[in-house]
Amino acid sequence: MAGTGEDPGRPGPPAAPSPAAAPPA
């Protein structure tokens, strides 16, 4: 889970919804 904002050493927005993780509506 990279870029979830849990790890301070990893860049990325906290809890960012990924289009690849969620199927298109």
Would you write out the chain's pLDDT as a tens digit for each of its 25 residues?
A: 555 555 566 666 665 566 665 565 5
- How far apart (Å, rounded) are the C-alpha atoms in residues 22 and 11? 21
**What pLDDT does residue 22 have?**
58
Transcribe 1-25 into DSSP letters: -TTSSS-TTS-S-TTPPPTTTS---
In terms of C-beta density within 10 A (0-12 exposed, 13-18 middle, 19 or more buried), how is residue 22 classed? exposed
Q: For residue 15, what pLDDT is reported? A: 57
pTM above 0.75, yes or no: no
Q: Tokens 């870029």 belong to which residue?
A: 3
Largest CA-CA distance found in the chain, in angstroms, rounded: 33
